[in-house]
């Protein structure tokens, strides 16, 4: 039986003929949030593992970027709001059922933490740096004393931040493409992989690059596994889930997803990283750049495609 729907009397901006309310701000934020989570997690991890001397880019250099990354992300989130002057309402209440609410609170905690972490290394990275007030020196000494505790908190918060970027979407049961519980772990590993790529790009030590590249390869393979798992889940799901998977299996996002995300964003850079570990010379920026770009495109694709999918009635 063929069926056709006509909807008369409505052509609402951002909603009709299909939902396109969230545009570039949200995927950009999801990317930056995952990137920041990745950098902070490994900064914390390798600090706790006493690698401060060998892993300078991981612990000291890359975290310098995080406050900027998070502030740009928060700016994008703010731009996305339609009722901007009321944004402070987010911070008058904690609603555990709403991922956006606890995500906003996690950001409120991790952004200052990342600033303090980066600031505590300013003197080491820029030897000429001087604090303008004496109390800042006192505060710096205090922070340096409790760095280990900070590293642990940073690791926990960055996992929550990374998972949250996926759960934000998977909580929407009205959009079958997003409504899969694998999206949380998938965005977490993808975010961590982009974080690693950024650190590898900044690193000048061969040892550090080798350690990080090995970890990154594991993350990329887990990510590929999760992607296949996600599509298998859709194929085994309801009609609405089939329709969602179709967008990637012959539908309008097929090329963007398989060529730009899976092939150029994951498989190709992974191959380059393997070659590099085997001793071949690969310019370090190529795999890193591809992973970062792939991660960004991935979030744009998931966001745009997800808004098209819906229940069929």
Instruction: Yes or no: say if 81 and 87 are a contact pair by the CB < 8 Å rule.
Output: yes
Residues 6 or more apart whose Cβ sits within 8 Å of residue 34: 161, 162, 165, 187, 188, 190, 191, 192, 194, 195, 295, 299
Q: Minimum distance from CB of 63 to other proteins (Å)?
A: 28
Question: Cα dist. 256→230, 265, 281 in Å?
Answer: 17, 11, 29
- Min dist CB 32 to other proteins, Å, is 17
Q: CB of 227: closest distance to other proteins in angstroms?
A: 22
Q: Indicate the Cα dihedral angle 290, 295, 299, 302, nearest 10°.
A: 80
Give the nearer residue to other proteins in terms of CB position, either 2 or 278. 2
CB-nearer residue toward other proteins: 123 or 310: 310
Residue 175 CB, nearest distance to other proteins (Å)? 6
Where on the chain is the footprint of other proteins (CB under 8 A)? 1-15, 19, 21-22, 80-87, 89-90, 92-93, 95, 97-101, 104, 171-175, 238, 307, 310-311, 313
Which tokens in the block code for residue 210? 């080798």
Q: Within 10 A of 120 (CB to CB), how many other CB atoms are there? A: 21
Q: Residue 17, preceding bond cis, omega within 30 degrees?
A: yes
Q: Which residues of 150-165 are buried (b: 16+ CB within 10 A; e: fewer)?
A: bbebbbebbbbbbbbb
If the CB atoms of residues 85 and 255 are measured against other proteins, the closer one turns out to be 85
Cβ at position 251, least distance to other proteins in Å? 20
Q: How far apart are CA 24 and CA 239, in angstroms?
A: 29
Tell me the C-alpha distance between 192 and 296, whole Å: 13
Nearer to other proteins, 28 or 90 (CB): 90
Closest CB to other proteins among 24 and 129?
24
Residue closer to other proteins (CB basis): 108 or 125: 108
Q: Minimum CB separation from other proteins for residue 108, in Å?
A: 12
Q: How far is the CB of 44 from other proteins (least distance, A)?
A: 27
Q: Which is nearer to other proteins, 33 or 287 (CB)?
A: 33
**Residue 104 contacts residue 91 (beta carbons within 8 Å):** yes
Half-sphere exposure of 26 (CA within 13 A, CB side): 20
Rounded distance, CA 34 to CA 190, Å? Answer: 7
Kindly tell me which of 90 and 290 has the beta carbon lying closer to other proteins: 90
CB of 137 to other proteins, least distance (A): 39
């Amino acid at each position: 039986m063929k069926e056709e729907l006509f909807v008369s009397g409505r052509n609402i901006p951002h909603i009709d003929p299909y939902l396109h309310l969230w545009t570039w701000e949200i995927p950009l934020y999801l990317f930056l949030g995952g990137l920041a989570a990745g950098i902070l997690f490994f900064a914390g991890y390798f600090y706790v593992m006493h690698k401060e001397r060998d892993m300078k880019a991981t612990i000291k250099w890359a975290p310098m970027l995080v406050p900027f990354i998070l502030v740009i992300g928060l700016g994008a989130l703010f731009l996305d709001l339609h009722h901007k002057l009321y944004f402070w309402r987010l911070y008058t209440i904690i609603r555990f059922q709403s991922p956006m609410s606890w995500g906003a609170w996690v950001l409120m905690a991790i952004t200052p933490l990342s600033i303090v972490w980066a600031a505590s290394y300013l003197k080491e990275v820029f030897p000429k740096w001087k604090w303008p007030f004496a109390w800042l020196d006192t505060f710096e000494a205090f922070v340096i004393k409790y760095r280990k505790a900070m590293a642990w908190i940073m690791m926990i918060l960055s996992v929550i931040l990374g998972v949250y970027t996926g759960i934000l979407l998977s909580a929407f049961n009205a959009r079958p493409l997003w409504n899969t519980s694998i999206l949380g772990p998938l965005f977490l590993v993808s975010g961590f992989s982009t974080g690693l790529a950024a650190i590898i790009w900044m690193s000048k030590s061969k040892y550090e690059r080798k350690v990080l590249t090995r970890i990154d390869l594991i993350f990329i393979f887990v990510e590929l596994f999760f992607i296949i798992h996600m599509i298998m889940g859709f194929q085994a799901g309801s009609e609405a889930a089939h329709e969602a998977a179709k967008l990637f299996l012959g539908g309008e996002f097929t090329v963007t997803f398989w060529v730009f995300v899976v092939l150029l964003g994951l498989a190709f850079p992974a191959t380059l990283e393997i070659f590099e570990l085997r001793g071949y010379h690969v310019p370090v920026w190529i795999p890193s750049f591809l992973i970062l770009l792939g991660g960004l495109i991935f979030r744009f694709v998931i966001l745009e495609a997800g808004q098209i999918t819906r229940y069929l009635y």
